[in-house]
Every structure is written in structure tokens, then in C-alpha cells.
Amino acid sequence: MAMEARHAILFESVRIGPKTLPNRFYQVPHATGFGSIKPRTQAAFRGMKAEGGWGGVCVEYAPVSTDSEETPAVSAEIWDDVDTANLRLTADAIHAHGALAGIELFHGGAYSVNGASRGTRIAPSTRGAEMIWGAGAREMSLDDIGRVQRDFVTAAVRARDAGYDIVYVYGAHGYLLTQFLSTATNHRTDGYGGSLAHRARFHLETVEAVREAVGDECAIATRMCIDGRDSLPGVYIDEMLEVVAWLDPIVDLFDVNVGAWPEDSGTSRYFEEGHQRPWVMRVREATGKPIVGVGRYTSPDLMASIIRSGAVDLIGAARPAIADPFLPRKIEQGRYGDIRECTGSNICILKEETFAHVGCVQNPTAGEEYRRGWHPEEVPPIDRPDRAALVVGAGPAGMECALTLARRGLAAVHLIDEQDQVGGHLRWTRQLPTMGDWGRIIDWRAIQLDQHPAIEIITSRRMSADDVMDYGADIVVIATGSHWAGDGSQPATDVRISGAEHALTPEQVMSGARPPAGRTVVVYDTEGYYVGPGIAELLVLEGCDVHLVTSHPVISPVSDGTLEGDVLRRHLHEAGIRMHAGVTLSAIDEAGARGETSLAEPWSLPECSVVLVTHRLPDDALARELRDRGATVHVVGDALLPSMVSEAVFDGHRLARELDGPHPDYPLAYRRERPGRAD
């Protein structure tokens, strides 16, 4: 394999101020939840991207002042010598592979949380305290302005001392610098408010001061939202381009994106690859300096074409670099089919938003580099490779497990599924409206499995316990997935729905047992994620009159964590789906569906059919029977515990990694970073 010539442009070096990026692949700053709390986890996570070929690798936002403190989110505080030492671990890990290390100096202004510091939020102008716990901000005095600018400089010096090559002044996403720029939040009448020049002054002065302090040794970058639709109103694209032009002489790299985070990190359900291009392309009008833009790029052709267009100089990535840290190397080596393409599911963001450890649907090793010692491209050789493994069930967990076992050197891995295709539940969930790109999870694995000589895939074969026993495999893994409970149970409310036998499950809808067109249908979603809305949209497209009902306070609360909630609900509304939140269903019969609101008032809908999207139960009968017969079997994925697909993939991967351990069904201990330990 060799790289296509047209992609060579991606591997040109790019000069930014006093530094040179070895290529055009650039992992932009993005949150991980590691920051000040997990410095070694961060170092291994970022270092892996450098190893995978990203020429520039940045850590997440680094608050410069204690009144910009992010608890419960974790940021990279850069306030004292301990912070400097901890951040140096990451810079060193990035440098070990020849990449440049970047750090994004930050002040949140009125959007600071201060959940730990209890600091008083500051902003260009007084902001009223609307939510009593996420209160407003006080107007900055000139003394405050000078102090925060000094904090930026002090932090920049620390960043330089920690070894960072690229120092950002963060002016995007509605934070302090944008608050100065926006007429909606800046009502000052002094030299920092009013005209555009005055509103941009804080940004320009801060960049200038940072450049003065470290510009000889570090490249100076700034991040800006360019679309005129930032989290704050009152920031317009023509004005932004003017500010870019003013910044041009003192900035070495412009990192540009659209402002509203749900669009900047838009999911594949609602935003296509490169969706930011119409905005980002405008920046070249205002500067000749290097520009980096993002857009969930995974296609080398698209990347090369936008570089060639001259619009940007670097391909920025956050999520695609999580899904595949080795994306650049794979392009360079012409291993295009090996690229784990980001699905744009935003499971990584859901995890960060819920303050969990980061994870990825495509890359089960993401975030596990330090604490479990996992490498995305390397696996340790397995003990006794002459063994044969049988994996029953070719959904995400089974596919990942089989693949990892084979990569570890097992002589024979048989992956068997009763369906005529591999993919498990993703075979049908990828067919729900907007869900197409999720299919990449199984497509990538199908390609990898096909290519591996030790793997044999057998479809359309249902395995009984006898069959498994007779098969004679040394290692048996059960990955038989789960099914939607249509029995009327709904664990969180403990209300049992009577007459559930009249209802359909999601699988029944997808397999063709659809309610007749024009008929009123209640889709009752207590799961709270994408299947309920997906089924609802499918049925409305087929002509049904659809009511989406949920016991949760809002429709699809999980989608709020993936940044999709608002767009999803508007999308459903525009599609004509009527939504009812806070309703617990209790009965289905010929007269319709009945239940109760969260205020204990009766709720009902006459003459409707019902689809129950309540919860899933494991398909574990085969595993149970085998265990009852004394067989040693391992169970992974939804057959063990129905969960998100990221966890199913992780689970299949973990078992394959830890199969040689003393008790492979119990995960090995992972390393935890805490005070009192420095290993």
C-alpha cells in the first residue's frame, strides 16, 4: 500500500511563527476531563496522537485565573508550579514523537462556573443573576482588566516553561474575549466598549502582551468563532474578519470555528462532514497567516481538496483524532481502509458532559492509554496462540472481541451469527432516520475482520448449547446481544404497563410489523435516547399520526448530553410529531393508551397503537445454559448488560485484552491518579 499522490500535500510542513509543524494534521484543543486531575492520563492520551502522526497536538482549555474555574468540569489549571510540572508531562509526551505541543489559555468570564473556587464571576458588563446557582457576573474594573491580562502573561510564561510550542489566547465560544466583542454583553462606555476597535481591544492587548512575553520562543495562536452566530449574539462575521485583520500582524495561527457548540461539535445526525466550511472559508479574506479549521474530517480527499483550495492550512480535528489517533499515519502509509472513522455520535462529549471518563464508540482504547496501558494499534501477544476461539454473535462487542483476539495472535477465531449479516442491532438502528453514520462502527470492523487470515465469519447459523459444546473451541465468547422488553415493565418507575401484549417493540416495527399508515401511534420512550425519536420519525414518514411520549421531564434527555437535544426536538416538532414529556404509561387496551402525568393527573389517548421503547434485556439464554452445563464461557456486550454501543465495544475489547488474567470476567485494576501517588 502507498499513499495516493494527491494526499501528499497533507504532509507538507507548515511554519507558524518561530516553530514548524511537521505536517498539516492538527489536533485542536478539546476537553477531556483529564486536566489538572489526571496529568498522566492526559500525557498518554495526547502523546498517542503525536505517535499517530498529528503534527500539532493541544491540551484542553487552561484557565489563567481562579475566577475562571470550571468545577465540576475538569480543565488544565495553570496557576502554580505543580500545574507547570504536571503539564510538562504532556508536552514531553507530544515532543517524544516530533509534534508541536499547544495549550489554550482561557478565561470564561461570565460563563465561568467557579464550583470549587467560589470566585466572583467577572464580565465586561454586569450580567444579571438569572439562575441562582449559575449566577451572573460583575462588571470588570480597569484594575480587573489589567489583572486578567497579567494572568494571561503569567500563564503563558508557565506554558513556555512547561515546554509548550504554541500558546493560545482563547477568543471563541462565548467566553471572556467574545463577551468583550459582543454588543449584547459589552455595554461599557470606556475604552473597552462601544466601537468595534474598543470591543476588540481586550483581545488585541492580551495577544500583544502574551506575544511580548513568549513570542520569541512560542507560536502565538488565537481561537475565534467566525460565523457571526457565536454563543453570544452581537458578533457579526464582517466584524470578525476586521478583528482577524487587526490580529494578523501579531498572531501566528488562527484557529477558527463556528460559535454555538452544538453546531461546532455537530453530530453526524444533523451536520455533515465539513459543515463549517462556508464560514471558515471567509477567514482567508482577512489574513495570510496559517489557519486551522475543523469539520469532523475523516476523508483524505476532502482534506486535501480544502488545503488545495487555500482556505485553510491545517486540518483541525478533535473527535476524529479520538476515534483514530493514527489517522495521519494510516493515510501516509496508504492504509485508507484501516482508518477508524469518527461516527459523529458525540458519545465522547456525552461522557464529558456527564463528567465521566472519556470514551469512544470507535476506539475502545481512548482514554485508556495510561490507566490500562492500552495502545490503539498494538496488542500484546496472547498466551498459547495455538488455541481456537468461538465468538457467538457478530454485533459490535462480538466483532471487536473476535478482531482483538485475532490481532493478539490466536490461530483461529470463528465469529458466528444467526443473521445473514454481521452487525447486531446496528444492522437496523443504522437504518433509522439520521443514524446512517453510526454504521461505521460495524463497517470498519467488518472490513478488518474480512482481512484477517485467522478469522472465519459464519452467518445465518444459530448456535444451540449443544452446537457450542460440539464445536470444541478452547475459548468461548457469547455476544448474543439484547432485545427490547415488550412486557410492560419499566424499571425506573416500577409501574407495570397492562396490556403490553397489544404493543409493538422497536424490532417488530423495523422488521415490518408496522402500524397501518394514517393510524395514530404512541411511541412510548422511557429509554430516553435515539431509538424512540428514530422510530417516531420513521412512522411519521410512513404516514402515521405519531405521539412521542416519555416519562422523563424532557424528550430524549440523553440527547442533551450529545448536544443534540434542542435540534432533535425541533426536528421532531417540524416533522409533525406531537411530544408529551413527564407522562408515565400504565395501560394499553382497545380504548387506547392511559397513564399519569408527573403531577399525578390522568393522561390518555384514544384509539392508538403503541410502540414500547422502554428498555432492553440481555439475550443470555445460551450463556446460561452453557454455564449450567459446566462450560466456561465469557459473556460480553449487551448479552452481559445492555448499554451504549461504546460500552459494548469496550467490553469486547477488554475481554480480549485481559483473557489471560486470573479471572478475565472481572476487569483488572486500573491506575487512578490521586494526591499521594505519583507513579
Active-site residues, by number, are 175
User: Whole-number minimum distance, CB 348 to a second copy, in Å?
Assistant: 13
Burial of 576-609, coded b for 16+ CB within 10 Å and e otherwise, reads ebbbbbebbbbbbeeebbbbbeeeeeebebeebb
**If you count them, how many residues does the chain have?**
679
**Span near a second copy by CB under 8 A; candidates 79-87, 422-430, 463-471, 511-519:** 79-87
Between the CA atoms of 122, 119, 68 and 111, what dihedral angle is there, to the nearest 10 degrees?
-60
374 binds a second copy (CB under 8 A): no
User: Whole-number minimum distance, CB 194 to a second copy, in Å?
Assistant: 19
| 307/304 Cα distance (integer angstroms) | 5
Question: For a second copy, which residue of 485, 610, 626, 659 counts as binding (CB under 8 A)?
Answer: 485
User: Residue 72 gets which letter from DSSP?
Assistant: T
Cell of 421: 449479516
User: Residue 515 gets which letter from DSSP?
Assistant: P
* Cβ within 8 Å of residue 473, ≥6 positions away: 388, 389, 390, 414
Q: Which residues in the 288-347 window bind a second copy by CB under 8 A?
A: none
Nearer to a second copy, 64 or 256 (CB): 64
Question: For a second copy, which residue of 359, 396, 481, 595 counts as binding (CB under 8 A)?
Answer: 359
User: Whole-number minimum distance, CB 183 to a second copy, in Å?
Assistant: 11
518, 607 contact by CB (below 8 A): no
Q: Which residues in the 510-539 window bind a second copy by CB under 8 A?
A: 526-529
Question: For a second copy, which residue of 20, 309, 354, 421 counts as binding (CB under 8 A)?
Answer: 354
**Site for a second copy (CB under 8 A): how many residues?**
93
Q: Any idea what the Cα angle at residue 163 is, between residues 160 and 165, rounded to 5°? A: 75
* Cβ within 8 Å of residue 341, ≥6 positions away: 298, 320, 323, 324, 362, 440, 444
647 binds a second copy (CB under 8 A): yes
Q: Which residues in the 564-593 window bind a second copy by CB under 8 A?
A: 566, 569-570, 573, 579
**Span near a second copy by CB under 8 A; candidates 277-285, 332-340, 583-591, 638-646:** 638-646
* Cβ within 8 Å of residue 141, ≥6 positions away: none
Q: Which residues in the 598-617 window bind a second copy by CB under 8 A?
A: 598-601, 614-617
Q: Which residues in the 215-244 window bind a second copy by CB under 8 A?
A: 233
Nearer to a second copy, 97 or 357 (CB): 357
**Span near a second copy by CB under 8 A; candidates 220-228, 400-408, 502-510, 551-559:** 551-559
The stretches of 412-556 forming alpha helices (DSSP H) are 426-429, 440-451, 465-471, 506-510, 531-541
User: Whole-number minimum distance, CB 24 to a second copy, in Å?
Assistant: 34
Question: For a second copy, which residue of 288, 453, 630, 675 counts as binding (CB under 8 A)?
Answer: 675
User: Whole-number minimum distance, CB 175 to a second copy, in Å?
Assistant: 16
| 550/556 Cα distance (integer angstroms) | 8
Nearer to a second copy, 184 or 591 (CB): 184
| 466/457 Cα distance (integer angstroms) | 20
194, 180 contact by CB (below 8 A): no
User: What is the Cα 640 distance to its own chain's centre?
Assistant: 24
676 binds a second copy (CB under 8 A): yes
Nearer to a second copy, 138 or 198 (CB): 138
543, 517 contact by CB (below 8 A): yes
User: Residue 178 gets which letter from DSSP?
Assistant: H
Q: Which residues in the 102-141 window bind a second copy by CB under 8 A?
A: 113, 115-121, 126-133, 135-138
Residue with cell 495472535: 409
Question: For a second copy, which residue of 146, 187, 212, 355 counts as binding (CB under 8 A)?
Answer: 355
Site pattern 23..52 for a second copy (x: CB under 8 A):
-------------xxxxx------------
Cell of 169: 489566547
| 71/44 Cα distance (integer angstroms) | 23
| 238/233 Cα distance (integer angstroms) | 14
Question: For a second copy, which residue of 2, 5, 420, 666 counts as binding (CB under 8 A)?
Answer: 666
| 485/611 Cα distance (integer angstroms) | 11
Nearer to a second copy, 38 or 107 (CB): 38
**Span near a second copy by CB under 8 A; candidates 20-28, 43-51, 295-303, 643-651:** 643-651
User: Whole-number minimum distance, CB 116 to a second copy, in Å?
Assistant: 4
User: Whole-number minimum distance, CB 196 to a second copy, in Å?
Assistant: 20
667 binds a second copy (CB under 8 A): yes
Q: Which residues in the 409-448 window bind a second copy by CB under 8 A?
A: none
* Cβ within 8 Å of residue 439, ≥6 positions away: 423, 426, 430
492 binds a second copy (CB under 8 A): yes
| 523/585 Cα distance (integer angstroms) | 11
559, 548 contact by CB (below 8 A): no
Nearer to a second copy, 118 or 384 (CB): 118
**Span near a second copy by CB under 8 A; candidates 258-266, 303-311, 396-404, 667-675:** 667-675
User: Whole-number minimum distance, CB 507 to a second copy, in Å?
Assistant: 15
What end-to-end distance do the CA atoms of the chain give, in Å? 40
481 binds a second copy (CB under 8 A): no
Question: For a second copy, which residue of 4, 20, 85, 278 counts as binding (CB under 8 A)?
Answer: 85
495 binds a second copy (CB under 8 A): no
Cell of 119: 470566585
| 472/562 Cα distance (integer angstroms) | 44
Nearer to a second copy, 405 or 636 (CB): 636
Nearer to a second copy, 472 or 677 (CB): 677
Residues paired with 579 in a beta bridge: 548
Q: Which residues in the 170-199 window bind a second copy by CB under 8 A?
A: 184
| 246/287 Cα distance (integer angstroms) | 9
User: Whole-number minimum distance, CB 68 to a second copy, in Å?
Assistant: 13
